Chains A and B, each alone.
Chain A
Amino acid sequence: MSKQYLTAHTVDEAHPAEIFSLALTPTSLLSASGSSALRVHSTTDATFPLQQTIPNAHKLGCHHVVTARGGLGNVAASVGFGGEIKVWALHKPEAASGQQPEWQLRWEIPPSKAQAQNGNANGGVIPGDVWAVALSADENYLACTTSDGRIHVWDIAARERIQTYETGARGGGSFAMAVDLSRDGRLTASGHENGAVYVFNNDAGRMVYSLSGLAKPVRTVAFSPGCKRLAAAGNAGVIAIYDMEHGEHVGNLVAPAARAAWITSLDWNDSGEYLLTGSLDGKVKVWDVARGVCVATHSETDSAVWSVRWLPKSDRALAPGVPRSEMFCAAGASRSITFYREATGS
C-alpha cells in the first residue's frame, strides 16, 4: 500500500544559491547553501516564515549544517567550503522580554585545526579538508570527516579533539563523504568514496565493523532511531541496510527503475519505520523499511535534490484545521525548500 504525501508549503528562493543541507530542531529548520549566509525558518507556523539570517557564516559557501537527531535543538554545527567548522548555540532570551530565540556563534574550529593530525607526525602529507559533520544526541560531541578518510570526534564543551579514527594508512584513506552518530552515543559510522562503510565503537575507541555491499561512493549514512540499524546510500542508487548487533548486511532497498540516480541524502523517521531519500534526478522517495518497498515518490523538480529531512514529531497542529501528521522537507539546486505532510483521514 502506498502512502500519500501532499505539498504543504514551498519557500521559493529560500537562498540565492543551491541549497546543500538542511537541519531541524523541534521548532525550526536551518538551511545552508552556496551563498555565505545560513537561514532559519520556523516550522511551527503553516507559512514557515523566515526567523533569522546568519550573514557571512561561511564566506565560500556552506555544504553541511546539522543538529542533533533526537536532541533538544539548542546546538547546530556547520562546515564551509573553506574547511572551517562553526558551532552555533540557540540563545534564548528571558520569556518576559518577548524576544525571539536567536542562533549565535559559540565556537569556530579553523581549517588548520579542524584537519589537524595526531601529534606532529605530519610527514609532509597535506592533511585533508573537513567535509561531513554530525552531532551527538546529547549535543556534547561533534564528529567530522576529512577528505583523506579520517573521522575526528570533538568534545564541544572542552573544545578539544578526543578521538581520531583512521580508515587507511596515514593520509591514504578514502574520502569520507558521510558520517553519523547513533542516538545512544555508542557508535560512529562513516561512508566513503570507495564504497566502504565503517562503524566505530566510541567507548572502545576502535573500528567494530567494516561493511561491504555498496561498491560505489557512499554519500549518506544514518543510524535508525533505535540504533539497531544503519542505512547507507550513494552513487549505487540503492539503500543498504545493516544490522548493528552483528554487523551484517540485511538487505537493500531498490527502486524498480532500470537506472537509479545517485542518492544524496537519507533520513529515518522518528518511529524507524520509514526512510526518506533524495537524489540527483530531483526525486524524493519514502521507503517502507520492513517491507523493503518505495511507498511514495515526489518529483517536483528535475534538478538535484541535495538534502531531505523528516520534521521531528510535534504534538501541535501547524494551523487550525490542519490535522497533525508526519512531515518532511526537501531542498537542492532549485533553491527552494518544499515541505510535505502525510495525507490523513478520508
Chain B
Amino acid sequence: MTQTGSGLLQPAPADQFGPVIPGPPIVRRPLALKVPVAFAGLTLLAVVAFVFGSDAGLTTRFSLASETDFFQLPDFAVPTRPAATVLAIIMAGLTLLAFQSAAQRHKLGLWLPSVFGLAWILSFMVWVIAGKTSTWTIPALLAASLSLSIPLVFGAMTGLVCERVGVINVAIEGELLAGAFLGAVAASAAGSAYVGLIAAPLAGMLVGALLAVFAVRYWVDHIIVGVVLNVLVTGLTSYLFSTVLKSNAGLNRATQLPKLPIPILGDIPVIGPVLFRQSLLVYLMYALVVGLQVMLFRSRWGLRMRACGEHPEAADTVGIQVNRTRIRNTILGGAIAGLGGAFFTIEMGLAFNKEMSAGKGFIALAAMILGRWNPKGAVAAALLFGFAGELAQMMGTMNTPIPSNILLMIPYLLTILAVAGLVGRVRAPAAEGTFYRS
C-alpha cells in the first residue's frame, strides 16, 4: 500500500486491478445558516436603530490625535445618517456574501465576520456619538482598550500554557489577584515599582504550584482545585488587606510603572501612542505573546508539552516525564498570570484593594477558548473583550441612548456567545483535565 502526500488511502492493489471504489463518499454538507442569519439580524438592527434611529442633520465627530502627538492629524466629521446608511449597505452586501457561501457550502473565512463586526461597531459608534459636542479621540479609545485587555492577555496565555500541557486552570483569577497583591506590597516596601514587577510573578507561581501539586500529584479534579484556590486567594488577600495593610499604610501605597516611550515607533500616527508609549509590563506582554506563539509550535519545549496535553501515554513511551512536565508548566503559567496581576496595582498606579481582579481571570479563560488555545487568537479575543469593555465604559459617561448598565454587560454577553461555541467548533487539547499514572 502506498501513501500520498494528501494522506489519502491508495491501496497498491489498485495499480494492478484498476480503480478502487472512490472515497470518501461525496455527500453535501448540511446547510450552515447560523452566521448568515445572525448577520441579517444585526444588519436589520443597524438599519432600524442607527439609520432611522438617528436624527437627520446631525454630524459625528472623531479625532485621531491628542495634543501631545508628534503628527497632528485633523479631526474629521461625517453626517450621521448618510454614514450609517453607507455602513448598512456594506453590511447588507456582506450578509448576501455570507448567504451565498453558505448555499455553496463554502467555509466562511475569518475576514468576513471581522469586516462585518468592524462595520457594525463603526455604525454603532457613529450613531452613539452623533451630535455630541465632545469629540471622541480614537487613539485614546484604543489605548484604553489595550490597557483593559492586559490582564486578559496574560491570563489567556496562562490558560493556554496550562491546558496545552493537560491541566485545566480556572485559578487564573486567583493568580492575577495574588500577583496584584504581592506586586503592590513589594513595590511599596521597596519604593520601586520594578521590585513589584519581580514579586508579582512569584505570587502567581505559588498559586500555580498549589494547583500543580493537587491536580497532578494528588489527582484532585482540576476544576475543583482551581475554584478552591480562587476562594483561598480572595480570602487571604482580603484578610491581609484589612489587617496588615490597614495598620501599615506604607506597605500599600500607589506606585506606578513609568511609561517608556520608544522613539520613532511611538511617533507613528494613531497606533504609535497606543502601542509604543507603554510601560515595561506591556512590552513584556508583547514579547511573551510572540515568544509563546513561536515556542509552542516550533520548539522542543512546546512539542513535548503539547504531547503531554494530547496523548500522555505517547509522551511517556518516548521517555518524557509527563507529570514533571505538567507541574513545571503549570507553575510557569502561574508566573505569567502573577505578572499580569501587576496590571491592577503598579501598572494602573493604584494601591491594592479587595477583589480588584474582578472576574478578569474568567474572561481570560474565555478569550483563550475563543482564540482556540492559540496565542495569537487569544490575544485577538482579549483585545476584542478589552475594546467592548472600554466602549461600554466610555458610553456610560456620555449621555447615550442605551443605559450604561446594559453596555457594561456587553463583554460578558460576548463571552457567553464565545464559549457557547457560536464562533465555530473548537478543539481543546485531547487530554486536558486528565490524570496520568506513570
Check if A and B associate.
no
